[in-house]
Amino acid sequence: MTEKVDITLNINGCDYAVRVEPRRTLVDVIRDDCGQTGTHIGCEHGVCGACTIILDNEAVRSCLMFAVQAQGKRIRTVEGLADGDKLHPLQTAFMTHHALQCGFCTPGFLMLAVNALETNPDMSEDEILDLLASNLCRCTGYQNIIKAVRNTAAEMRRARA
Amino acid sequence: MRWVGRSIHRLEDPALVRGDGRFTGDLKAANWVRFVRSPVASGCITRISWPEGAPVFTSAELEQIKPIRPLLHNFNYVPISQPVLAMDVVRFVGEPVAAVLAPTQEQAEDLADLVDVQIEPMPAIADARDAMIAGAPRVHALAADNIALDARFKTAGVDAAMTSAHRRIRIEIRSRRQNALPLEPRAAHAAWDRNSGRVTLTCTTQMPHVMRTIIAELIGMPESDLRVIAPDVGGGFGQKMSLSPEFVVVTWLARRLRTSVSWLEDRRENLIACFHSRDQQIALEGGFDADARLVAVSADILANVGAYSCYPTTCGVEPLMAMAEMPGPYDVREYACSARAVLTHTCPMAPYRGVSRPVITVAIERLMDKAAAAFNLDPIEIRRRNLIRSFPYTSATGLVLDQASYVETMDAALQAAGVAVFRARQAHARAQGRHLGLGLATFCERTGYGTPAFAARGMEVTPGWETVEMTMDPSGWIEARIGASPHGQGLRTTLAQIIADELGTSPDRVKIVHGDTDRTPYGWGTFASRSVVIAGGATLMAARKVRAKLTTMAGILLEAAAEDIVLEADAARVAGTDRAIAIETLARAAYHQAHRFKGEIGPGIADTATYDPAGTFSNACHVAIVEVDVETGGVILENFVVAEDAGRLINPMIVDGQIQGGVAQGIANALLEEIVYDDAGNILTATLADYLSPSAREIPAIEIRHLETLADASVTKAKGLGEGGAIGAPAAILNAINDALSPLGVSIDEFPATPRRIREAVKAAAQSKRPS
């Protein structure tokens, strides 16, 4: 397991050629080898969701995957959400609705919700709650995160109409 | 335009939403540490072995490091000590026994697996009452009967008042153990610098200066050779204010090996070996007169404080807080209390948001509801008769409760909750066999207390004051360097709003520097709902001094009296005229044209202020409405209302966020989270699948009402409220559950009120009613 293999990870459109042990988790490689430290590690057993990233069109826990499994897939992390100085509407909504305090869980919640907004833009209130119950936040009591996602969904619907 | 009172966006947020936050775990190091931990609760280390030549460190290698020995000079405190790595004996599952070093985290974990620790197990005790039985195994030889602190308090007339009371009500409550569970586990990165010989320790802490002092002292190095940085910190809730022995080891390794060393705690380590809290048993008796007025209170408090005493507060923090504040917002003159800290073979206790107050609020608020039932009174009415109404009020334990709004917040909360409508709905539901309940908790929250309050506990390390250094640079921008150390509370934004108003500028021209002992004045950090009161007060006082200098300078340049100068829109103006000078011109002149002030005033713009207040009391009333499913024991929180009074709101959005987050932790405390040990001291809740933290599904929308009593005890008139949400919620929810189940004759006084506990109570009540 300690013999290293060469893989290429595509993160936010950039290729990273890295040599890793097959046992290394995706989140460790994203953070340590690719230097993208916006994705955080909260539990390493798939409960808290701080490490949530988007893999192709799916929000996944990057602590529950090996880096070698992500080769050939499109990885998106929090660093790829903003377009230069222009924040993603959900990032702005998190600020407007005070949906973060310490900010440690924030990247995971953003990636979880961005993927849902892209794949299921007409989420019902119940679906939003179900979705956000996937991740843990210790600071906010969740209501402001729910508001931020609900309002961004409505905004995106208006923009489409 | 004033900035105080406005919900401006937080200055902290843009970096955090981009993933540009800088947390300790983001730093790279040449070496990674893994700690080998004790798998047993109690035992003698007989042998530790590892592959020859591997970089493994035990207490033998670390013999120059002094043990952690927190001190309290009062209350029969026993000064037990803790070696940073276990020496000879282990006292709890998870206690660090050895540290290993490797170039990567994975290799460090591999090496840790090869360290063989032989331990001869000894009998262990996990429960406080078991530990007090004669002949129970001793956790420390120094502490007979495993009592680390034994505090007594008694007013002269309490026995007589209790004896002659019209009615005496007794209650026993049990709070199970909690973990504060910040989402970022502990982390430490220490780097030695060849040129200066100094070590920079970046770590997850709420009190960087205090960490610098104690770590340098334990290692025996000059404090000036240690720089402590608290970068972005992913939540603390008190857990990150106490000294972690692991931080001492990491710092020592970097200095000894002349390298950089990093440690990242994993969640299992956090759950088993970081600090726990709230493991308490309280027996409370209230004596009431014929009008249901409380005339005497007697309390027996046992706090299970685990295997060691935490630094700097000591293991006295929970029992002493409980003893001092038990009577809460009620007018009662006679009071007796016994408060003990009991040592067990479990993870050490340390402060967690609210410290003892979530537990004592459950005790006194359950007592009030029981008394109301005994007097056949509405729970609202019995509180109305007993709440303190005239201020200042000196409590039985000598605390001075300043101007507040205990009755008014209760009325506001009840109005928001719609009590009359609820009672009708409850009666209707009962007729259908459904169990709805409403519970309230009224409480006061001691906040923003300085050295006198901590000195009263006899603490060797007596926290309290805060210093703020403020500079205006030659371009007219402001920098405030603070000793407080926020970790998610948005204090940078709040302080910038205070400064902006005082100096006639906007918050985006203010930089707040914190969390770096090289850059900030010595201070105590962020805990105990103190930052906005004490650091905020020192900030306002420093800003007033800077303001005085600016108006004096402007007066000289504009040939007007300083008192006629107003600062607004980044200019100094002679009031009522158009004669003005831009702040940046004034600032530049202060540095580059000091001669223009004719020696009347010195060059530069910099000043310092220190604030050490006696403290103040915020207050609130929480109301919970629940439905209990008696078949499953499940509780659904239908509605939760908070009416609070924390004085002036500086940023209402941030205030509401603190309340919502605190209530969420209180809900977890009341219904979900519990650290469980078996009788042998094995911890059974070592993952987030066992220790149940609430998700978005379990936390309802919380309705918040504000009252603003502007008291003189705080220079900013803000009273502080970081802990209040967590303090009131458990009592309100337990009272609501008991209200819902009152037709069944059930009293649930142990929490979290899990489905199992509720089911057992319902079954037991049904059995006791059955004719035998």
Cβ separation A104–B653 shorter than 8 A: no
Other beta carbons within 10 angstroms of residue B81's beta carbon come to 13
Provide the 8-state DSSP code for A24. Answer: -
ipTM computed for the complex: 0.98
Q: Which amino acid is at B559?
A: E
- CB-nearest to B688 from A48, A106, A143 is A48
Cβ within 8 Å, pair B184-A40: yes
Q: Looking at the complex, does the CB of residue A76 fall below 8 Å from at least one CB of chain B?
A: no
Give the per-residue pLDDT at A127.
97
Rg of chain B over Cα atoms, rounded to whole angstroms, equals 27
Average pLDDT value over all residues in chain B = 97
- Closest-approach residue (CA) in chain B for A82: B18
For B711-750, the DSSP string reads: -TTSTTSB---TTHHHHHHHHHHHHHHHHHTGGGT----E
CB contact under 8 A, A37 and B26: yes
Average pLDDT over residues B174-203: 98
Tell me the per-residue pLDDT of B415-469, one tens digit each, with 9 for 90 and over.
999 999 999 999 999 999 999 999 999 999 999 989 988 888 888 899 999 999 9
* Residue recorded with tokens 């007169």: B289
Sequence-distant (≥ 6) Cβ neighbours of residue B599 within 8 angstroms? none
Separation between Cα atoms, residue B364 and residue B688, nearest integer Å:
31
Give pLDDT tens digits for B554-597. 999 999 999 999 999 999 999 999 999 999 999 999 999 999 99
Predicted pLDDT of residue B214: 98
Kindly state the greatest CA–CA separation across chain B: 99
Q: Which residue has the tokens 């998700």?
A: B695
d(CA B234, CA B246) in angstroms, rounded, equals 18
Asked if pLDDT for residue A1 goes beyond 80, the answer is no
Split at pLDDT 50, 70, 90, the class of B769 is confident
The DSSP symbol for B698 reads T
Q: How many CB atoms lie within 10 A of CB B340?
A: 24
Q: B112-131: per-residue pLDDT in tens?
A: 999 999 999 999 999 999 99
Task: Give the confidence band of B528 by pLDDT, cuts at 50, 70, 90.
Answer: confident
- Band of residue A133 on the pLDDT scale cut at 50, 70, 90: very high
Residue A116 tokens, joined: 């849902």
Coil, helix or strand for A106?
helix
Domains and CATH numbers, chain A: 5-80 (3.10.20.30), 89-160 (1.10.150.120)
C-alpha atoms less than 13 angstroms from C-alpha of A40 in its C-beta half-sphere: 37
Burial class (CB in 10 A: 0-12, 13-18, 19+), A104: buried
Q: Which residue of A139, A140, A150 to mutate against B (max B Cβ within 10 Å)?
A: A139
β B435-447/B400-401 pair status: unpaired
The separation between CA B285 and the C-alpha centre of its own chain, rounded to angstroms, equals: 28
Query: What domains appear along chain B, each with residue ranges and CATH number?
Result: 13-122+186-264 (3.90.1170.50), 355-445+615-769 (3.30.365.10), 465-611 (3.30.365.10)
B contacts of A101 (beta carbons < 8 Å): 235, 488-490, 657, 661
Contact B650, B714 (CB under 8 A): no
φ/ψ (deg, to 5) at A19: -115, 115
Q: Cβ neighbours of residue B284 under 8 Å, at least 6 residues apart?
A: B170, B171, B172, B173, B297, B298, B299, B300, B326, B363, B364, B367
Residue numbers in A near B489 (CB within 8 A):
101
pLDDT-based confidence at B711, cuts 50/70/90? confident
Q: Do B687 and A82 touch (CB under 8 A)?
A: no
- Residue B235: which of A36, A102, A146 has the nearest Cβ? A102
Q: What is the mean pLDDT of residues B488-510?
A: 97
Bridge partners, B622 (sequence order) = B441, B642
Q: How far is A104 from chain B (nearest CA, A)?
A: 5
pLDDT at A139 over 90: yes
Q: Which residue of A has its CA nearest to B697?
A: A133
**DSSP single-letter state for residue B752:** S
> Is residue B772 predicted with pLDDT exceeding 60?
no
Pick the residue of A102, A137, A149 with the most B CBs within 10 A to test the interface with B by mutation: A102
Report whether pLDDT(B739) > 70: yes
pLDDT at residue number B453: 86
Six-digit token pair at A40?
A: 């955080």
DSSP assignment of B422-440, as one string? HHHHHHHHHHTT-EEEEEE
In the numeric block, which tokens belong to residue B582?
């831009």
Largest CA distance in chain A: 54
Q: How crowded is the C-beta side of B464, counted as CA atoms within 13 Å? A: 18
B363-370 mean pLDDT = 98
Q: For residue B306, how many other CB atoms are within 10 A of its CB?
A: 28
Among A87, A132, A136, beta carbon nearest to B17: A87
B185 contacts in chain A (CB < 8 Å): 42
Q: Does the CA dihedral B95-B98-B102-B108 come out positive or negative? A: negative
pLDDT, position B771: 64
- B18 to A105: CB separation less than 8 angstroms, yes or no: no
| Model confidence band, residue B688 (pLDDT cutoffs 50, 70, 90) | very high
Q: Phi and psi for B372 in degrees, rounded to 5?
A: -60, -45
Judging contacts by C-beta atoms under 8 Å, the chain A residues touching residue B664 are 140-142
Residue B177 token pair: 């153990």
